[in-house]
Structure 1
């Protein structure tokens, strides 16, 4: 059998009597007369099925049950009083929860600074960060399981079904085992690397960038020699350190300093080496907290640009 609901008004009256231990003074505090207050306390005791006060002609004292309920009743009233302020903060985007997906390359460079900066500006917005590849993020964004996500792709290949903000564009570089003969070169010409075995990300997680890398080889009349696939950029670099091959990675991955791996640029300023774009994607009509984050992101992107 469900318990009857107790109105906040009754708890407010209970707290007033408990703090004054005097029905007359409590009634004055509540701007009411004493008889209705006495009736209200009796009603509360009936609803709870316990006595809250011991009354005599000379004194009013809390029972053990009343003393135990007093701090909880105070807390209940304080939280109820705070609800309108909290509701306005959520509606204004100054509080709430924001679920952000991110690919590992964003975690190497821009994400740490952005998280620190946004939390400093909006400390009441709870950021939930979820590392996931693009093929995982896109369905989650469509379902609403994520509010926004940092995606990696070739320039111009952001998903058409989502709004997006270009965050950064960077060239691919080669991760090379430290003991490899090519590791001593400051920069490499493309023909020198086309015959080398590769550690590569699967096409399903980064189709546009995967196709751009394969297109680079096909344009030179070569077929990439993929010896191993891996999903996370950290794993790819670790496999490079094990000597399994070279790997094309976004330049920001250089922040991941793995012993046994060096990073080298390929070609010059007019090199055909593909570019990688990081974008922030979200569904139309974002919630208020995401609006705040988008405004922050646009400022950061302009500064970076």
Structure 2
């Protein structure tokens, strides 16, 4: 037997009348006249097939059928209210899950403040934070496995993606503390020409890698790369062991290793840029809200 579909307006009228047990009071609460209320209740009773109220002069009472329907009607209305509230929250970016990829070095700089500010404004949004180097973030944005990326040196050939700078900073030399130049406050790059370098592989951050090579070329040499490491913390650890030296964004100085010294470089003509990345056609309101939460890019 096919179940009757009960219109929500009729259920609402039924619940209000069940609470008031007075047609006049219920109609006033609903903001309608009494005859339309009576018609809605009668239509609902026709669908149920039984009277939901007993009507006697001066007295309205729930029947057994009405008492049975009342809890289910309240649940249906509450579920609808909850669903509408959830839909509004999702639609306005007040709730949901935001997937963010981030380069590990940015966990030392912009990421904590950005996430803290966003969570203060949108506490009901779940944040799915994924540590990724820059190139995989670009791929993940295209594959829609993340919503936003925080990466180093965004590429110039990604027309489907948009970028916003969130940090610019100079490069520093990363030296073992036993290195002869570690005693100086500023290191001339040309004096590193004979050193072995520990760098990120170009495939995980091509623009950043090329910037470092260009800095060395400006100083008159091509860096001799002895070792690659995917994360800056690993780069610093390998420098500490004496496998080589490196050039890194200045915020890497926040990695505290006893055997590593961070020194300003000369010439210091290049700044590395960190940016937020997202799909240009993105319709997710969570992304819009995150972009609005990002203030002016810091400079160091």
TM-score, length of structure 2 as denominator length: 0.73
Contact 1:15–1:73 (Cα < 8 Å) also in 2: no
Secondary structure at the aligned position of 2:204 is classed as: coil
- Structure 1 residues 286 and 230, CA gap change in structure 2 (3 angstroms): same
Q: CA RMSD in A?
A: 4.1
1:152 to partner: Cα distance: 0.8
Q: 1:37 aligns with which of 24, 34, 41?
A: 41
Unaligned runs of 5+ in 2: none
**Matches of 2:205 and 2:69, distance apart in 1:** 63
In structure 1, the residue matched to 2:212 is 213
Instruction: Give the aligned partner of residue 282 of structure 1.
Output: 278
Mean CA deviation greater in 111-120 or 180-189: 180-189
Given the alignment of the two structures, is residue 79 of structure 1 paired with residue 78 of structure 2, yes or no? no
TM-superposed CA distance for 1:109, in Å, is 0.8
- Cα displacement (A) at 1:76: 2.0
Q: CA deviation at 1:67?
A: 6.6
Q: How many Å apart are 1:38 and its aligned residue?
A: 4.6
**CA apart distance, 1:102:** 2.2
Query: More deviation in 112-121 or 201-210?
Result: 112-121
Partner of 1:300: 296
Equivalent residues in 2 for 1:195-274 (5 A)? 195-217=194-216, 220-227=220-227, 229-267=228-266, 270-271=267-268, 274=270
Structure 1: which 5+ residue stretches go unaligned? none
> SS at the partner of 1:107?
helix
CA-CA distance at 1:253 after TM superposition = 1.5
CA offsets per residue over residues 34-78 of structure 1, 9 Å max, x none? 4641541463x57xxxx9979798853778865753652342243
After superposition, the Cα gap between the structure-2 partners of 1:62 and 1:271, relative to the gap in structure 1 and judged at 3 Å, is same
CA contact 2:173–2:246 (8 Å) conserved in 1: yes
Alpha-carbon distance in 1 for matches of 2:177, 2:52? 79
Q: How does 1:104-143 map to 2 (within 5 A)?
A: 104-121=104-121, 127-143=127-143
How many positions carry a matched residue from both structures? 289
Shift in CA distance, 79/221, structure 1 to aligned 2, threshold 3 Å: closer
Work out whether residues 173 and 251 of structure 1, in 8 Å CA contact, stay in contact via their aligned partners in 2.
Answer: yes
1:203 Cα deviation after fit = 0.8
Q: Structure 1 residues 94, 29: CA separation in 2 closer, same or farther (over 3 Å shift)?
A: closer
- Kindly indicate whether the alpha-carbon contact (under 8 Å) linking 2:174 and 2:236 is maintained by their aligned counterparts in 1: yes
Q: Map 1:78-97; keep pairs closer than 5 Å.
A: 78-79=81-82, 82=85, 86=89, 90=92
